[in-house]
């Protein structure tokens, strides 16, 4: 797909005026309020566990982002560094080279864009080209400058629970009381950001399913989604295609492959929506969008708005 076909990226193309005029704040405010949102995953990486390498080129990444929009994603989450267990670290300049042009093009096309990064420099560069949200999985190991950046720019910020980094977090999955400890550590992080000047309304909490957690920890956290919602912040849940779902669906002792876990992911999306989650982060948008619409109708006793896809 040629970049010239993407609004705002070719020499003779421009985004629709209404999209150009829409501010970051307006785009955020126009997200649906009557149901759980769906965040589509866009990995501009070489080694993500599910689709690493498929969208590593800028053109392929932009094309997939547009496909996610067409499928009904409310937010596109663009990441340039895999954070799966034991993944290699990516230099910040390489990460930025991967994601900044993709973010710029998708914003020009009218998308609400989140950036999955742990690096202040990448986050700042993406905010400069229109990113709406920073989704930081760093947790307890966040970069010291991140709170100041989020306070200064005022963008919404996903604050996720994680101990260690992608290469050490597996050894830190030890809890006596999973929900209590994750809650205490998340709220301590929240307080750090608020003390740095971040408005509590900017903060979105993510309990960090699969990050320094094993399968029993993940199920405990998911069962406690209402508890996390009750902490007073929007809550993001990310289970998509993760290993604990693959092992749940074992055939003859073999876990299902990542792309065979979308039905299970959609089930967790429906249950998360039923529990009041603000958003679910998924690879397969269509199944989870249908799931959250059903959950919304179930909760309200009527069909949810926004059921049609482009």
Residue 242 appears among annotated catalytic residues: yes
Angle at 257 between CA 254 and CA 258, to 5 degrees: 140
Task: Determine the distance from the C-alpha atom of residue 120 to the mean position of all C-alpha atoms in its chain, rounded to a whole number.
Answer: 17
How many Cβ atoms sit within 10 Å of the Cβ of residue 34?
9
How many Cβ atoms sit within 10 Å of the Cβ of residue 266?
23
Residue 298 contacts residue 269 (beta carbons within 8 Å): no
DSSP 285-308: HHHHHHHHHHHHHHHHTSPPS---
Copy the structure tokens of residue 23: 């501010």
- The one catalytic residue in 24, 190, 281, 289 is 281
- The one catalytic residue in 24, 242, 261, 289 is 242
Please state the length of the chain: 310
State the residue for tokens 């979105």: 204
Residue 70 appears among annotated catalytic residues: no
Copy the structure tokens of residue 275: 């529990």
Alpha carbons 242 and 255: distance in angstroms, whole number: 11
Q: Give the residue numbers marked as catalytic.
A: 242, 281
């Amino acid at each position: 797909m040629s970049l010239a076909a993407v609004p705002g990226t070719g020499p003779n193309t421009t985004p629709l005026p209404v999209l150009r005029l829409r501010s970051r704040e307006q785009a955020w405010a126009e997200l649906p309020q009557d149901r759980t949102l769906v965040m589509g995953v866009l990995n501009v990486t070489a080694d993500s566990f599910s689709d690493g390498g498929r969208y590593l080129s800028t053109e392929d990444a932009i094309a997939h982002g547009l496909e996610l929009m067409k499928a009904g994603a409310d937010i596109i989450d663009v990441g340039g560094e895999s954070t799966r267990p034991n993944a290699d670290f990516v230099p910040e300049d390489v990460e930025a080279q991967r994601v900044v042009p993709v973010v710029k093009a998708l914003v020009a096309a009218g998308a609400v864009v989140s950036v999955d990064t742990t690096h202040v420099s990448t986050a700042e560069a993406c905010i400069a080209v229109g990113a709406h949200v920073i989704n930081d999985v760093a947790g307890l190991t966040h970069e010291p400058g991140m709170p100041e950046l989020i306070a200064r720019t005022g963008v919404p910020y996903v604050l996720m629970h994680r101990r260690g980094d992608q290469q050490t977090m597996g050894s830190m999955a030890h809890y006596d009381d999973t929900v209590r400890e994750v809650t205490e550590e998340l709220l301590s992080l929240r307080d750090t950001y608020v003390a740095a000047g971040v408005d509590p309304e900017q903060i979105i909490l993510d309990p960090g399913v699969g990050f320094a957690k094993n399968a029993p920890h993940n199920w405990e956290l998911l069962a406690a989604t209402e508890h996390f919602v009750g902490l007073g912040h929007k809550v993001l849940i990310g289970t998509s295609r993760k290993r604990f779902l693959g092992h749940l669906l074992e055939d003859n002792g073999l876990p299902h492959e990542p792309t065979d876990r979308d039905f299970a992911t959609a089930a967790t999306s429906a249950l998360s929506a039923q529990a009041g989650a603000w958003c679910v982060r998924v690879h397969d948008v269509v199944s989870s969008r249908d799931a959250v619409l059903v959950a919304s109708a179930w909760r309200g006793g009527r069909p949810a708005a926004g059921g049609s896809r482009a």
